[in-house]
Amino acid sequence: MELGTWNLFGYWLFIAVNSKGEASMTSEDKIKIQKIDDYRWRIPREGKMRTDGIIYAKEEMFDKIRQDQSLQQVANVAWLPGIVGPSLAMPDIHWGYGFPIGGVAAFDLGQGIVSPGGVGYDIN
């Protein structure tokens, strides 16, 4: 598997793709996950990630969480400029538009970004 990149509305999306260029709908074998405790899981910083990803969820929830690209999106958010602290995901995490739904991140005012994917497109 490789990481495919697409520029969508000025934002780079990183999606796992196979050798034929097909997007993978599961993130199980692409994202490393380490158990911190019964309710917290770490996606360790690697490559161009600026920080770790932290997911808050029970172990039983991971079968459902792994069914989409939301874990990849947690890692993608950790790449963004100016991120302060880890890229976070709450227990309701699922595939969103850039950020995962249930994703949380803080950014430095001077060096960070404001992402519509993180704020939500339904907010006017």
Confidence of residue 97 (pLDDT cuts 50, 70, 90): confident
**d(Cα 40, Cα 110) in Å, to the nearest integer?**
30
Q: Residue 9 falls within a domain, yes or no?
A: no
- What's the structural domain count of the chain? 1
Q: Residue 124 falls within a domain, yes or no?
A: no
Q: Residue 19 falls within a domain, yes or no?
A: no
Q: Residue 21 falls within a domain, yes or no?
A: no
Q: Residue 17 falls within a domain, yes or no?
A: no
Q: Is the pLDDT of residue 2 over 70?
A: no
Q: Which domain holds residue 113?
A: 31-119
Least confident of 9-18, 24-33, 52-61: 9-18
Q: Residue 109 falls within a domain, yes or no?
A: yes
pTM of the model: 0.74
Q: Residue 7 falls within a domain, yes or no?
A: no
Q: Residue 60 falls within a domain, yes or no?
A: yes
Confidence of residue 114 (pLDDT cuts 50, 70, 90): confident
Written as six digits, the tokens of 75 are 């890692």
